[in-house]
Amino acid sequence: MLLKQINDDLKSAMKEKKELELGSLRMLLSAIKNEEIAKRPNELTEEDVLSVVKREIKKIKDAIVDFESGNRADLVSKYKEELTILEKYMPAQVSEEEVRKIVKEVVANVEDKNFGLIMKTVMIALKEKGDVDGGLVSRIVKEEV
């Protein structure tokens, strides 16, 4: 389903001559194909495809940080556009307010303020609510502990 949507969007980008979107989707499909080759003889599941999308988004976010530190505003804006293109394939993210609320609940209920234990408990609780950025959770846990 997700793979079909990506392919349909690729065709649409070709027809509309959207060069940046076309390049981003080709890169994503290439990463998905590489994952498919690595998983042979098994077929990719929807979760596998989503995992590849997450991995590519993380690479783009890392590149944005690197280009910002290198004062390359032109590349930062390009990669932010690519990030927007790929993020539309991700499920809805849990809001920062919701994450903060759950972190506070977990910290209040745990007597041992072990960062790893709190992270694990929070991630388990958030998994039921939807997709969440681990970096965001880590930052909030550090603020609260």
Quote the pLDDT of residue 55: 93
Helix boundaries (H) for the chain: 2-15, 19-39, 46-69, 73-87, 96-109, 115-127, 134-144
Q: Which two tokens stand for residue 44?
A: 């990719």
Confidence of residue 145 (pLDDT cuts 50, 70, 90): confident
Are 81 and 121 part of one and the same domain? no
Domain final residue, candidates 67, 87, 107: 87
CATH number at residue 36: 1.10.1510.10
Quote the pLDDT of residue 49: 93
Are 83 and 101 part of one and the same domain? no
Are 124 and 55 part of one and the same domain? no
**125 neighbors 137 (Cβ within 8 angstroms):** no
Q: Which residue has the higher pLDDT, 92 or 142?
A: 142
pTM: 0.74
131 forms beta bridges with: 93
Distance, in Å, from the CA atom of 138 to the CA atom of 122, rounded to the nearest integer, reads 10
Are 10 and 63 part of one and the same domain? yes
Quote the pLDDT of residue 16: 96
pLDDT tens, position by position, 81-126: 999 999 999 888 888 889 899 988 888 888 878 888 888 888 888 8
Distance, in Å, from the CA atom of 19 to the CA atom of 13, rounded to the nearest integer, reads 7
Query: Which residue segment(s) compose the domain that 45 sits in?
Result: 2-87
Q: How many domains does the structure of the chain reveal?
A: 2
Are 113 and 80 part of one and the same domain? no
pLDDT tens, position by position, 28-79: 999 999 999 998 888 889 989 999 999 999 999 999 999 999 999 999 999 9
Are 50 and 106 part of one and the same domain? no
Distance, in Å, from the CA atom of 22 to the CA atom of 78, rounded to the nearest integer, reads 13
